[in-house]
Amino acid sequence: MMSVRSTSWRNELKSHIRGKSLVFLLADSNLPDSYSKDIMKVCKIKNKTHLHKIKGGEQIKTHQHLIKIYNELDAVGADRKSVVICLGGGTISDLGGYAASTYKRGIDLIILPTTVTGMVDAAIGGKNGINLESNLGILKNQIGTFHQPKLIGIDFNWLNSLPKDEVKSGWGEMLKHALLKGGSHLEQFKNTEPNLASLTPLIIDSGNIKEGIVRRDVKENGERAILNLGHTIGHAIESLALDSSNGSEIKHGIAVAWGIVFTLEVSVRKMGFNNTLAKELIKWIIDIIGYPEKMWGSEEIWLKMCKDKKNTNGNVKDVLLRNPGDADWCFTWEREEFTILWEQFRERYELTSC
Amino acid sequence: MMSVRSTSWRNELKSHIRGKSLVFLLADSNLPDSYSKDIMKVCKIKNKTHLHKIKGGEQIKTHQHLIKIYNELDAVGADRKSVVICLGGGTISDLGGYAASTYKRGIDLIILPTTVTGMVDAAIGGKNGINLESNLGILKNQIGTFHQPKLIGIDFNWLNSLPKDEVKSGWGEMLKHALLKGGSHLEQFKNTEPNLASLTPLIIDSGNIKEGIVRRDVKENGERAILNLGHTIGHAIESLALDSSNGSEIKHGIAVAWGIVFTLEVSVRKMGFNNTLAKELIKWIIDIIGYPEKMWGSEEIWLKMCKDKKNTNGNVKDVLLRNPGDADWCFTWEREEFTILWEQFRERYELTSC
C-alpha cells in the first residue's frame, strides 16, 4: 500500500477524476456549505457531479442509510467508472467507503477527512463499515470490507469548523498512536496542549504511525490488531451509548481514551507495565477527558466485548502494553477477572461513585 | 487464482475447516435433507457447526435476507475464524458468499454447488451479490464483492435431485461457455443431448473455460466481460420477470439462452458472424429451450439494460461474437437501433406474435 495521503492534493484530485463517468460527493451536512462547494467546483470542470448531503454521526452507519445511498447512486446513473468522494469525518467515510466497495462490486473511492479522527485514523488503511442491529443492541462495524481509497486529501483549514468535543475525540486516537509508538513521539505528544492549534502539526506524524502498521499487515492477520488498543472497551462503551434510550452519543476517541485508561491499569497487572508511568499517564489523560458521569457495569460491557471482531474461538481478545511502543495483541480475557478489574475501575473513575 | 474446484474434496474440506471456530452451513431447503446431513457429519467431527436452511431462488438475494444471515451468524457466535459453507445453487452462493465477504470484513467461504449452473458458472470466479430494489424495479447483482472461495466441492450425485428446468438452465450457461470457446468443445457440446446424464461429463470442461478467463482478469478490467455473453438481455429478462406482479421466475440460464439467440442475430449484422452458422445455432437452441410465451417490449428491456454493470459513461455495452471462440466485449448500443432489432426479434420468436 503506497501512501495516498497528501496535503497538496487538488491537482491529484483532478487527475484521479479525469475521465470518470460521475463524481458522487457524499458530504457531511454539518459542514459549512463552502467546503462541498469548493470540491464540487474542482470536480465540475470536467465531470458530471452529484452532491449527496447526510448528517454525519454514528447513527448513519446502518443498512437503511446504506440502501438510500445505493438508490441515489443508481438514480443518478453511477457506473463502474464513477467515483465516490467522502467529505466529512469517520462515519461519512465508513458508510461511503462501504457503499463504494459494494456498489456494482466496487467503484473508486477518495476520502477528504474533515476531522482530526478522520485525518489520523479513519481515512487510513481501507477499513470501512456499518453497525449491525442485533438482539444484543448495536454492534459496531460488524459489517464492512477493506477498500483502499485512491487518495486521501487533507486540508487543515477544514478543522477550523470542528466542534471542541471532536478535537478531543481526535486527541484520543492520537493518544493511541503515541502509546503504540512510544519514544520521542510520545514525549512530544504529552507536551502538546490538546487544542487544535497545538495538535495540528502532529497530525501527519500520527497518521504515519497507523500507515506504517497497516502497510505491514493490510488485512489484519497479526500486527494490525494493535491498532485496537483501547478499542475493545471503547467500542463497548460507544455501542452501549448508542443503545441507550436517550440516544446519547459518546465520541469515538473519548470512548477509546477511556479504554486506554483501563488498558493501562490492566497492563500493569498482566504485562508488568511500569506502575509509576501508568499512574502518570492516567492522570494526564483524565485531566484532559475528565471523569465520566456514569459508566456501564461489567455485565453489559462484557456482553459487548464478546462480539468484538478480534475474538476467535469464543475467546475475548484484547490489546495490552508491555511498554509504550510495545503492544501485545494476543491477550485473552477470563470473565471473572475482567469483572473484578472493571468494577474496581468503575468505582475509581465514575463520578457518581466518587 | 489457483483452481480450487475438486470432485474428490471431502478430505480437503476437513483440512480447510480444521481449527475453524465455527462452520456455518447455509443450505438450500429445496435439497434432500441427506445432503446437508452428510456435510454436517463431515464437519461435526472436529468443529462447532450451525445449519441454516433457506429456500433458494432469486427472491432471496435481498438486503432483508442478508441481514437475517448476519444476525444468525452473530447469534451463533461466528467470528473471523469461522467459515461459511454454501450448499445449493447460484442464489445460495451469491447471497452466502456476499454475507461471508462482508461479515466482520470478510470470513472464509467454501462453495458446494448442487446445480449445473452452480458447478459450471456461479461458484467459479469469486463474484457474489444481491439485487437492488430501485424505483426501476429489481436490478440484478447490483450490490456485491469479489470474494474467492477456498474450495469448490463438486459431487455429481447431487444433480440427481435437480428439477428438469434447472438442468436446462445449466445447459444455457454451458452453451455460453461453448460459444466463447468454439472449436472442438462447441462441436462436442452441440452433439450432446441436453439431459443430465449426457451433460455431466462436460461439466468440468465447461467450468475450466470460465476459470481460464477469470484467471487472466480476476476483477473484470477487460476480458472477463466476455462472460457476460447473452447476459445483458438475460439479466433484463430475469429482472422483468421478478418485477412482474405474479412473481414468476425465468431461470437464469434460460434467460441467458434467449440473450444468446438475440446476440447471434445482432452479431450477424454488426460483427459479420456467419449467417448460416447463426441460423443453425439458433434453430438448435430454440429446439431445446422452446419459444417464449411472451417477451417484454424494447422499452422495458432498454431501461433494464441501462442499469447493466458493464455500462460506462452512459453507454449501454454488450458482448457480441465475431466467430465462435472470438468475442468482442466493447460493443455500444444505440437506442434506436436496439429498438428496431429487438422488436424484430420479438415478433419472430414470441409465441403470441407467431
Q: What are phi and psi of A149, to 5 degrees?
A: -70, 150
Interval B271-283 mean pLDDT: 98
Classify residue B105 as left (phi > 0), alpha (psi -120 to 50) or beta. left
| pLDDT for res A47 | 84
Q: Give the whole-angstrom CA distance, residue B87 versus residue A222.
A: 31
Tens-place pLDDT, residues A149-202: 999 999 999 999 999 999 999 999 999 999 999 999 999 999 999 999 999 999
Interval A299-310 mean pLDDT: 93
Contact B81 A313 (CB under 8 A): yes
Q: How far is CA A152 from the centre of its chain?
A: 15
Contact A142 B21 (CB under 8 A): no
Interval A20-37 mean pLDDT: 97
CA distance to partner chain B, nearest, from residue A241 (Å): 20
Q: What are the residue boundaries of the structural domains of chain A, listed by start? A: 5-162, 165-353
Least confident of A264-273, A344-353, B284-293: A344-353
Contact A145 B104 (CB under 8 A): no
Contact A145 B142 (CB under 8 A): no
CATH topology of domain B5-162: Rossmann fold (3.40.50)
Write the residue in A79, A103, A135 that is nearest to B143 by C-beta: A103
Give the architecture-level CATH label for domain B165-353. Answer: Up-down Bundle (1.20)
CA distance to partner chain A, nearest, from residue B46 (Å): 13
Q: Is B116 exposed, middle or buried (0-12, 13-18, 19+ CB in 10 A)?
A: buried
CA distance to partner chain A, nearest, from residue B289 (Å): 30
Contact B309 A104 (CB under 8 A): yes
| pLDDT for res A246 | 64
Interval B259-263 mean pLDDT: 98
Q: Where are the beta strands (DSSP E) in A130-262?
A: 130-134, 137-143, 151-153
Contact B75 A310 (CB under 8 A): no
Residues A236 and A219 sit within 8 Å (Cβ to Cβ): no
Q: Give the whole-angstrom CA distance, residue B93 versus residue B114.
A: 10
| pLDDT for res A243 | 87
Q: Name the pLDDT band for B87 (thresholds 50, 70, 90).
A: very high
Contact B105 A311 (CB under 8 A): no
Q: Name the pLDDT band for A353 (thresholds 50, 70, 90).
A: low
Tens-place pLDDT, residues A243-265: 886 656 799 999 999 999 999 99
| pLDDT for res A328 | 96
| pLDDT for res B71 | 96
| pLDDT for res B246 | 65
| Beta-strand relationship, A316-323 and A151-153 | unpaired
| pLDDT for res A313 | 85
Interval B63-84 mean pLDDT: 96
What are the chain A neighbours of B220 within 8 Å (beta carbons)? Answer: 105
| pLDDT for res A242 | 86
What are the chain B neighbours of A129 within 8 Å (beta carbons)? Answer: 105
| pLDDT for res A156 | 97
Contact A81 B144 (CB under 8 A): no
CA distance to partner chain A, nearest, from residue B352 (Å): 34
Higher-confidence residue of B309 and A351: namely B309
What are the chain B neighbours of A106 within 8 Å (beta carbons)? Answer: 145-146, 219
Instruction: Tell me which of B79, B139, B239, B311 to substitute to probe the interface with A (most A C-beta atoms closer than 10 Å).
Output: B79
* Residue closest to B31 by CA, chosen among B23, B39, B22: B39
Residues A234 and A259 sit within 8 Å (Cβ to Cβ): yes
Tens-place pLDDT, residues A128-153: 999 998 887 888 899 999 999 999 99
Cβ-proximal residues to A308 (8 Å cutoff; 6+ apart), any chain: A232, A235, A236, A316, A317
CA distance to partner chain B, nearest, from residue A207 (Å): 22
Contact A81 B21 (CB under 8 A): no
CA distance to partner chain A, nearest, from residue B2 (Å): 20
Distances (CA, A) of B28 to B32, B35, B101, B156, B331: 9, 10, 19, 17, 38
| pLDDT for res B136 | 76
Q: Which long-range contacts (CB under 8 A, 24 or more apart) does B339-342 make?
A: B339/B298, B339/B299, B339/B302, B341/B262, B341/B265, B341/B266, B341/B269, B342/B262, B342/B297, B342/B298, B342/B301, B342/B302
Q: Name the pLDDT band for A46 (thresholds 50, 70, 90).
A: confident
Instruction: Tell me which of B61, B73, B102 to substitute to probe the interface with A (most A C-beta atoms closer than 10 Å).
Output: B102
Q: Name the pLDDT band for B245 (thresholds 50, 70, 90).
A: low
What is the interface size between A and B, counted as CB pairs within 8 Å? 106
Amino acid at B43: C
Interval B47-62 mean pLDDT: 95
| pLDDT for res A352 | 66
Q: How far is CA A20 from the centre of its chain?
A: 29
Residues B229 and B263 sit within 8 Å (Cβ to Cβ): yes
What are the chain B neighbours of A144 within 8 Å (beta carbons)? Answer: 102, 104-105
Write the residue in B21, B70, B127 that is nearest to A105 by C-beta: B127
Per-chain mean pLDDT for chain A: 94
* Residue closest to B186 by CA, chosen among B281, B79, B299: B281
Q: Give the whole-angstrom CA distance, residue A219 versus residue A225.
A: 10
Share of chain B above pLDDT 70, in %: 97
Tens-place pLDDT, residues B17-30: 999 999 999 999 99
* Residue closest to A135 by CA, chosen among B83, B66, B68: B68
CA distance to partner chain B, nearest, from residue A107 (Å): 10
Is a pLDDT exceeding 90 seen at residue B352?
no
pTM of the model: 0.94
Contact A309 B105 (CB under 8 A): yes
Please count the CA atoms within 13 angstroms of the CA of A299 that sit on its side-chain side.
0
Tens-place pLDDT, residues B94-131: 999 999 999 999 999 999 999 999 999 999 999 999 99
Write the residue in B102, B144, B313 that is nearest to A143 by C-beta: B102
Tens-place pLDDT, residues A2-22: 579 999 999 999 999 999 999
What are the chain A neighbours of B74 within 8 Å (beta carbons)? Answer: 132, 134, 136, 139, 142, 307
| pLDDT for res A221 | 87
| pLDDT for res B44 | 86
Contact A132 B307 (CB under 8 A): no
CA-CA-CA-CA dihedral for A29, A34, A36, A42, to nearest 10: 180
| pLDDT for res A292 | 87
Tens-place pLDDT, residues A215-245: 999 988 889 999 999 999 999 999 999 888 6
CA-CA-CA-CA dihedral for A24, A116, A293, A55, to nearest 10: -20
Is a pLDDT exceeding 90 seen at residue B47?
no
Q: Name the pLDDT band for B292 (thresholds 50, 70, 90).
A: confident
Per-chain mean pLDDT for chain B: 94
CA distance to partner chain A, nearest, from residue B308 (Å): 9
Q: Name the pLDDT band for A28 (thresholds 50, 70, 90).
A: very high
Amino acid at A133: E
Q: Name the pLDDT band for B220 (thresholds 50, 70, 90).
A: confident
Share of chain B above pLDDT 90, in %: 87
| pLDDT for res A180 | 98
